[in-house]
């Protein structure tokens, strides 16, 4: 039998075997213990942070993922496979002079702790939350808070309004009316506004017996996004702080499917031959 004919007969078997192996690997992919995103609150800030998806940051050759966190929008959603603590670190920025004066130059690329968040993993459950970083009392320090962000709390296609005002706010969201007391929340669904791609919210304060407009915000309506909007005060004005997540398949979430350790090929471990010049 010619080799070409043999290959043609063998190809369907090889293809099917690879397909089955691929599907098996996909089905055996471990589920994350948590999905989280992050945001800065309080002042405009942007940082590049690093975390180990398996919670093994200090282990040799552990896998690490970088994420960009800002103050104007939620970061990308991140997958975590550890059981207790999410450890976020950052690399400090040094001037050329500071690096020149270092006895150990590796210090310039060292990772320093930025934030730690403790949580208890639940077997068979993927917890979802938002990490909020607020300025601390000392220099460049930050405090870390979390708010639950499970799909049972904020379903896809919905937005949740949370009031941090001291007084009651009266809302008109499209043709819907709601009263939002201090510390309370209200959820609106895109299905409440059929045929619309966006809806406008107007918030009113009751002052001297009259309703006066205090804030306004447009909300995009889509089954592919969900979010939390905090109503707070800034310079005595009502401010809306958005925290919106847009849908991504699980396999496209940052850190998803990352192995606990980096895979180093045997070839990479072998010493490379040096160049020899023959006279």
Residues 138-153: b if buried by 16+ CB within 10 A, e if exposed:
eeeebebebeebeeeb
For 251, phi then psi, to 5°, come to: -70, -10
- In degrees rounded to 5, what are phi and psi of residue 218? -95, 135
Residue 97 has what pLDDT?
A: 67
Confidence of residue 127 (pLDDT cuts 50, 70, 90): very high
Tens of pLDDT, residues 144-154? 999 999 999 99
Residues 254 and 63: their CA atoms lie apart, in Å, by: 12
The per-residue pLDDT for range 44-87, each reduced to its tens digit, is 899 999 999 999 999 989 999 999 999 999 999 999 999 889 99
Rounded to the nearest 5°, which phi and psi values hold at 47?
Answer: -140, 150
Query: Which has the closest alpha carbon to 88: 45, 39, 151, 41?
Result: 39
What is the band of 9 on the pLDDT scale with cuts at 50, 70, 90?
very low
Pick from 98-112, 208-222, 256-270: least confident? 98-112
Query: What is the pTM assigned to this prediction?
Result: 0.80
Which of the four pLDDT bands, split at 50, 70 and 90, describes residue 273? Answer: very low
Q: Which two tokens stand for residue 88?
A: 């976020």
Quickly count: other Cβ atoms within 10 Å of residue 86's Cβ.
25
Q: Residues 203, 231: contact at Cβ < 8 Å?
A: yes
**Mind listing the pLDDT tens digit for each residue in 259-272?**
999 876 544 444 44
Q: How far apart are alpha carbons 122 and 147 in whole angstroms? A: 17
Q: Give all strands (DSSP E) within the chain, no chain letters.
A: 34-40, 47-51, 65-69, 78-80, 85-91, 111-118, 127-135, 142-148, 158-163, 169-173, 176-180, 185-189, 198-207, 210-220, 225-234, 237-246
- Return the higher-pLDDT residue of 5 and 176: 176
pLDDT for 249 beyond 80 = yes
């Amino acid at each position: 039998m010619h080799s070409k004919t043999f290959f043609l007969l063998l190809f369907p078997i090889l293809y099917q075997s690879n397909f089955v192996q691929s599907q098996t690997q996909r089905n055996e992919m471990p589920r994350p213990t948590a999905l989280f995103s992050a945001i800065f609150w309080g002042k405009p800030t942007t940082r590049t942070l690093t975390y180990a998806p398996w919670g093994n940051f200090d282990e040799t050759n552990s896998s690490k993922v970088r994420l960009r966190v800002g103050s104007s929008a939620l970061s990308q959603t991140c997958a975590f496979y550890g059981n207790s603590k999410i450890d976020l670190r950052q690399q400090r920025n040094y001037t050329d002079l500071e690096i020149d004066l270092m006895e150990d130059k590796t210090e310039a690329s060292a990772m320093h702790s930025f934030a730690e968040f403790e949580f208890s993993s639940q077997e068979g459950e993927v917890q979802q939350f938002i990490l909020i970083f607020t300025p601390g009392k000392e220099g460049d320090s930050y405090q870390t808070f979390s708010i639950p962000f499970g799909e049972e709390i904020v379903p896809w296609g919905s937005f949740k309004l949370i009031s941090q005002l001291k007084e009651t706010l009266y809302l008109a969201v499209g043709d819907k009316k709601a009263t939002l007391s201090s510390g309370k929340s209200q959820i609106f669904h895109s299905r409440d506004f059929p045929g619309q791609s966006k809806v406008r919210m107007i918030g009113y304060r009751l002052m001297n017996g009259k309703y006066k407009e205090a804030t306004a915000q447009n909300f995009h309506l889509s089954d592919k996004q969900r979010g939390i909007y905090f109503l707070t005060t800034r310079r005595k004005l009502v401010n809306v702080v958005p925290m919106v997540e847009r849908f991504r398949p699980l396999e496209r979430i940052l850190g998803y499917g990352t192995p606990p350790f980096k895979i180093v090929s045997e070839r990479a471990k072998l010493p490379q031959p040096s160049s020899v010049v023959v006279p």
